[in-house]
Chain A
Amino acid sequence: MGKVQVGTGPFARRPDNSAFKQQRLPAWSPSLTPYTVLPVFYLLAVVCVLLGVWLFITVENTHELKVDYTEEGTCIRCFELRKDPIQARNSCDCVVNFNIPKTFPGDVFFYYGLVNFHQNLRRYMDSRDEDQLVGRKKSLKSPSSYCEPFAHDEHGEPIAPCGAIANSMFNDSFTLTYHPPDGAEVPVPLYRRGITWYTDKNVKFRNPPTNTTLQLAFQGTAQPLFWQQPVYELDPADPSNNGFINDDLIVWMREAAFPNFKKLYGILIRAETPFSEGLPAGNYSVNIIYNFPVQYFQGRKEVVLSTVSWFGGQNHFLPIAYLVTGGLIFIAAIVLTVVYVKVGRDGKNMEE
């Protein structure tokens, strides 16, 4: 044990008289008293309820529409077709009609949604190679072993991008069409950029460095097994959106935390009428190139249209949770007050 220094003099061994050693440090010792706890409870209740109401009003002003197109309309044909693995490569188009009862004002976002698709499985999430996706040449040609069995194709060529996540990329594509009550149908213009995190697009995903074409940069690699085109041809319309920095790929590669999820597909371009105010009410149809099979894992596919407010899209959970919490805290506050006044020893008994 710590021996006090041995010295001379009568009090040589006497311990120091410091506040620390004598355990007399100045300190604040708060204690729960009715005068602090009860106001805190009432305040919390009021804050929660007010927040809840405010959020609720905000959420009520947002709109969302979900269309499950798995077996909807003409898609039933494609659905049946995709059941057969031999027909996997055959393309299949279908159309689903739906109606927007009220105008979606402001910015409208177009999502695709998947139900019962587990992007959060440990092995699935591990099955990617960050080194490859950031464009490192070495990893491009020799993908991480985590990507197995999607690291090399049957000829031994390295797959880029490797791994189960990239391999299972969602590959349905959509064209939205507005059917005004009078006149010809109008295609709804969707902006397919800006649907990713800035850091993903600019730091996390980079194409392999090249002086020539992207195709040459990816030379010697194979496309993922389930893909219909190589990674450098993902977007035929925009050459700058190809390779690892393709927005759809980046969106897909950001794994969802839960098995039911939606992912951003496009944003309504509000440059021209009739969409300058948002999506007008009326009939719509969505043309789908139906590639992604979901019947194997009993999944569903859907299209989601949504507007956002300051805190995001439609989300009823948060306001309701706040309201319920506020209510419960209010009840608790009343109970505590009653207990304090009627039963508590600090309350009435004290006054007697």
Chain B
Amino acid sequence: FLCRLISTLIFIKKLCSCSVSVCVCVCVCVCVCVCSLQADLLLLSSSEPHGLCYIETAELDGETNMKVRQSLSVTSELGDPNNLAQFDGEVVCEPPNNKLDRFCGTLYWKDCKYGLSNQNMLLRGCVLRNTESCYGLVIFAGPDTKLMQNSGRTKFKRTSIDRLMNTLVLWIFGFLVCMGVILAIGNAVWEREVGFLFQSYLPWDPPVDNFLFSAFLSFWSYVIILNTVVPISLYVSVEVIRLCHSYFINWDRRMFCNRSNTAAEARSTTLNEELGQVEYIFSDKTGTLTQNIMTFNKCSINGHPCTVDFLLFKMFTWNPLADRDFRFYDASLLEAVKVGEPAVHEFFRVLSLCHTVMSEEKSEGELYYKAQSPDEGALVTAARNFGFVFRSRTPGTITTQELGKAVTYTLLAILDFNNIRKRMSVIVRNPEGRIRLYCKGADTVLFERLHSCCQDLMNITSDHLNECAGDGLRTLALAYRDLSEEQWAEWAERYRGAEKATDCREDHLAAAYEEIEQDMMLLGATAIEDKLQEGVPETIAILSLANIKIWVLTGDKQETAVNIGYSCKMLTDDMTEVFIINGHTVQSVREDLRLVHRSIYLSTSPVFLHISSFLSPAAHIGVGISGQEGIQAVLASDYSFSQFRFLQRLLLVHGRWSYLRMCRFLCYFFYKNFAFTMVHFWFGFFCGFSAQTVYDQYFITLYNIVYTSLPVLAMGIFDQDVPEQRSLEYPKLYEPGQLNLLFNKREFFICIAQGIYTSVVLFFIPYGTLSQATQSNGVVLADYQTFAVTTATALVIVVSVQISLDTGFWTAINHFFVWGSLTAYFTILFTMHSSVLFNIFPKQFHFLGSAHNTLAQPVVWLTIALATVICIAPVLAFRFLKLDLKPQLADTVRRLITTLNKKKNKSVYQRIQGRINTQILIQMLSRIWFHQMFLKYFLASSVQFHTLTKS
């Protein structure tokens, strides 16, 4: 919708003056519209009461829930533009940085000093929600904004094949120069020994006064003639193939999610074959493996466990504000609430007070919660359904409805959650005037801060927690502390001091929080379930069989994480050693990770894939799950789809095929160019190194773009070695990609060798035959044009036979391209050599009649047939030997399919099936041995990575 500007005018107070460490800005006072903000603002006032302002930060951090920002109370009254015009405060703040969640500054205004925090800031990229308008002071603009500071230089992602290809092209270039040098030396020798004597028939060109200069010219001539070894069309073809593969991903119905109506999307078209080489997957748990739909599942109140009983599910008829979708019901608990057991009441009061959820009440009784994290929402909803309804909040108050009675608490302080604290607290004053601190957080942290009298309760609760964690639930412990007025006043003083600190404010605040969160009384614990997505265990099992190692990043308790690992088949009982990094601080996690990274890098240079609903751009391939957590992940990803289980199809089917096709394509491409070009090299030895080409100029032009481009392109786009369901059935088929077997330097040299061998055959067989041959009417066949046509025809036929051998999947399109290329060759050949064209342009089409004369000769066809047989037979023999002695799994599977199709007899099928199993077993054993040798820590094929980063 349109940006609604309320008023545009504004004025400049003072220009920015920046010192090295501190930036003093009073720039422009802007009123903002209802669209995405364009600068980092200090919120001055808004149209909402208390200077509140609701924003959505999806563009910044991917979270779609609403967040609230509040202006300083002193500025929130400046609603009127005229008042704002009088505003002449001065802000001293930190220099521009990329930390989205913190801001540190001080406002000097009317001889007073006010601390500024992130709570007062509206960052660039935020979108106003539920807020008519607001006024702000520009702190940072343009490249200084936090959004821009975060946008690092975009790394251009390239596949390992790309990098290899670039190296190889450089090598080929070197090879080209070498050939040029060899031929130039040859030319020097020849001109000196022979050409010099031949001068009466062919004098040297006037500027060429000696053989050395002639050799120099010959070098450049040969570089031009032989430049076809450097495959220029390669890059274009590779991109076309990748584009097609990306379309196949987009078109895949089996990666389409009916529920969310989203198809898979390849957002990057350059990484497809890398999908066939993935070795490590780094995955988020929440929202990626799980549905990110939290349900309150269990709780333990004052040592009494309460479990879910879905069968008893009933409407909470006595509570008009209950959420109708709530699915937790425990008769005894409900009874306890009704009876008015204080511990139970206090338990739910914590849940209804200690959170950062925003509420929205469209009409009476129709409450909607907007929570930053779904688990918080689940907890508040649970409290609501048990009669402790959180209704609304203002900066200073929280209004709840406790068992039908409206209660307003004065909110004294919110002790924020962060990754290090792993807990959050609120300090409230209830209507009776008693001050209480409510805290919820990770049990490990909370248990350390309990009052000593809670020891027994702690042990019981701890048992319950472990039980819950064993079921894969996310747990939180709840506690409270009574504060006296003096304690509160004393602490509030320190708290304000910490808040005003200009440097290291976070540390000061953390220390202050630490002081008050002591000697707490344990109330109980909650357990929330986040259901796994459909098909996750199967997918992970298949990916593990494909030898892909999966790391999961989670903020859960270790027991929870391990259990989730088991339930999604990531961990199995026969794994002797599971590697779990359990970091309590960022530092230690980093240290552990470095250790592991080193051991990974020691072994190979593996391909990392990062799948997540919140992506870092550092991974080789980023896969985004488009679903609950907004579109940031999708925007930053290379591939996106809506269900984790589609990953197996993306990797094992699309990735594997892409890799296979690309490798086959590259092998053939290098081969055909070498076979084509090297013939000139051999001819050089017979034509005095004079840079005479073997073929007609039109053939040279059209060879790469017409005669041989389409069949190999069709192979690169459509080839399949085994049907898709087989590659899911035998995940081991994925292994050649990880081991980089199909295209590497060795394979490249084999292709080159084959190409050079072909060129030798293609030159010397026609040479041997034609130099002696005559037509049956006595006319000599050893003329240049006949030789050119014979060699060119033999070349086109040989490379066509070769592509037919390489193509494993003959669709109608392949047939059309292969036969079409051959037809095109002969059609163009006869056209170019026709008298019609010659009569118009005699000089350009001087090959007049060569095609008719040459191709009418049986001896020419015998030569072509012989050359083809000599070129192809060894290839066939080697392939057969390889298939026979060292069959790849894909070959065996192919054989199996053939056998199945023929349905010859069942016993053969069973035997082959047995062999496949043995083969897989042997490969697995050898892999395990390899890992034991090199990676002590890496026995397990999956690795759990555990650290707390998210609540």
A15 at the interface (CB under 8 A from B): yes
80-133 of chain A: CB within 8 A of chain B: 107, 109, 111, 116, 118-125, 127, 129-131, 133
8 A-B pairs besides A306-B778, A345-B915 with CB distance below 8 A are: A33-B895, A34-B880, A111-B780, A199-B835, A254-B784, A254-B785, A298-B197, A350-B911
B881 at the interface (CB under 8 A from A): yes
- Asked if A31 and B898 make an inter-chain contact with CB atoms under 8 angstroms apart, the answer reads yes
Which label, helix, strand, loop or mixed, suits the secondary structure of the B interface? helix
Residues of A close to B768: CB separation below 8 A = 317-318, 321
B246 at the interface (CB under 8 A from A): yes
Chain A interface (Cβ within 8 Å of chain B)?
1-4, 10-17, 21-23, 25-34, 37, 40-41, 44, 48, 51, 55, 107, 109, 111, 116, 118-125, 127, 129-131, 133-134, 136, 144, 149, 164, 167-168, 194-200, 203-204, 254-264, 267, 296-298, 306, 308-318, 321-322, 325, 329, 332, 336, 339-340, 343-347, 350
- Asked if A40 and B775 make an inter-chain contact with CB atoms under 8 angstroms apart, the answer reads no
- Asked if B877 and A336 make an inter-chain contact with CB atoms under 8 angstroms apart, the answer reads yes
B73 at the interface (CB under 8 A from A): no
The contact sample of 7 A-B pairs, CB cut-off 8 A, is A22-B252, A23-B248, A37-B876, A44-B869, A131-B843, A255-B784, A336-B881
766-814 of chain B: CB within 8 A of chain A: 767-788, 808-814
Residues of A close to B691: CB separation below 8 A = 122
Q: With CB as the reference atom, state the residue of chain A lying closest to B774.
A: A313
Contact of B251 among A21, A127, A306 (CB under 8 A): A21
The smallest C-beta distance from A327 to any residue of chain B, in angstroms, reads: 12
Contact of A130 among B261, B774, B776, B846 (CB under 8 A): B846
- Asked if A195 and B859 make an inter-chain contact with CB atoms under 8 angstroms apart, the answer reads no
Residues of B close to A28: CB separation below 8 A = 809-810
- Asked if B879 and A318 make an inter-chain contact with CB atoms under 8 angstroms apart, the answer reads no
Residues of A close to B894: CB separation below 8 A = 29, 31
Residues of A close to B808: CB separation below 8 A = 29-31
- Asked if B266 and A1 make an inter-chain contact with CB atoms under 8 angstroms apart, the answer reads yes
99-146 of chain B: CB within 8 A of chain A: none
- Asked if A1 and B269 make an inter-chain contact with CB atoms under 8 angstroms apart, the answer reads yes
Which label, helix, strand, loop or mixed, suits the secondary structure of the A interface? loop
Contact of B848 among A4, A203, A296 (CB under 8 A): A203
Residues of A close to B887: CB separation below 8 A = 345-346
- Asked if B782 and A109 make an inter-chain contact with CB atoms under 8 angstroms apart, the answer reads no
The smallest C-beta distance from A91 to any residue of chain B, in angstroms, reads: 19
B849 at the interface (CB under 8 A from A): yes
- Distance A297 CA – B782 CA, assembled complex (angstroms): 21
B469 at the interface (CB under 8 A from A): no
- Asked if B773 and A339 make an inter-chain contact with CB atoms under 8 angstroms apart, the answer reads no
Contact of B859 among A27, A121, A256, A311 (CB under 8 A): A311
B858 at the interface (CB under 8 A from A): yes
The smallest C-beta distance from B837 to any residue of chain A, in angstroms, reads: 11
303-326 of chain B: CB within 8 A of chain A: none
- Asked if B774 and A312 make an inter-chain contact with CB atoms under 8 angstroms apart, the answer reads yes
- Asked if A203 and B883 make an inter-chain contact with CB atoms under 8 angstroms apart, the answer reads no
- Asked if A204 and B862 make an inter-chain contact with CB atoms under 8 angstroms apart, the answer reads no
- Distance A69 CA – B779 CA, assembled complex (angstroms): 22
- Asked if A13 and B862 make an inter-chain contact with CB atoms under 8 angstroms apart, the answer reads no
Residues of A close to B786: CB separation below 8 A = 257
B4 at the interface (CB under 8 A from A): no
Chain B interface (Cβ within 8 Å of chain A)?
194-195, 197-198, 200-203, 205-206, 221, 246-248, 250-253, 256, 258, 261-263, 265-267, 269, 657, 686-688, 690-692, 718, 720, 724, 765, 767-788, 808-814, 835, 838-839, 842-843, 846, 848-849, 852-853, 857-859, 862-863, 866, 869-870, 873-874, 876-877, 879-881, 883-885, 887, 891, 894-895, 898, 911, 915
- Asked if B690 and A34 make an inter-chain contact with CB atoms under 8 angstroms apart, the answer reads no
- Distance A271 CA – B566 CA, assembled complex (angstroms): 101
- Asked if B262 and A203 make an inter-chain contact with CB atoms under 8 angstroms apart, the answer reads no
The smallest C-beta distance from B29 to any residue of chain A, in angstroms, reads: 41
A258-B767 contact, Cβ under 8 Å, with A1-B266, A329-B873: yes
The smallest C-beta distance from A65 to any residue of chain B, in angstroms, reads: 14
- Asked if A315 and B787 make an inter-chain contact with CB atoms under 8 angstroms apart, the answer reads no
Contact of B202 among A44, A127, A144, A346 (CB under 8 A): A127
Residues of A close to B848: CB separation below 8 A = 199, 203-204
- Distance A149 CA – B718 CA, assembled complex (angstroms): 56
Residues of A close to B690: CB separation below 8 A = 118, 120-124
- Asked if A308 and B776 make an inter-chain contact with CB atoms under 8 angstroms apart, the answer reads yes
Residues of A close to B769: CB separation below 8 A = 315, 317-318, 321
Contact of A312 among B205, B776, B809 (CB under 8 A): B776
A312-B859 contact, Cβ under 8 Å, with A121-B202, A263-B780: yes
A130-B842 contact, Cβ under 8 Å, with A2-B247, A258-B771, A346-B884: yes
- Distance A44 CA – B780 CA, assembled complex (angstroms): 30
Q: With CB as the reference atom, state the residue of chain A lying closest to B897.
A: A29
- Asked if A34 and B200 make an inter-chain contact with CB atoms under 8 angstroms apart, the answer reads no
Residues of A close to B247: CB separation below 8 A = 2
- Asked if B877 and A41 make an inter-chain contact with CB atoms under 8 angstroms apart, the answer reads yes
- Distance A46 CA – B210 CA, assembled complex (angstroms): 55
Residues of B close to A118: CB separation below 8 A = 194, 198, 202, 687-688, 690
Contact of A267 among B205, B266, B778, B788 (CB under 8 A): B778
Residues of A close to B785: CB separation below 8 A = 254
- Asked if A14 and B253 make an inter-chain contact with CB atoms under 8 angstroms apart, the answer reads yes
The smallest C-beta distance from A255 to any residue of chain B, in angstroms, reads: 5
- Distance A196 CA – B775 CA, assembled complex (angstroms): 11
Residues of A close to B765: CB separation below 8 A = 321
Residues of B close to A34: CB separation below 8 A = 880, 884
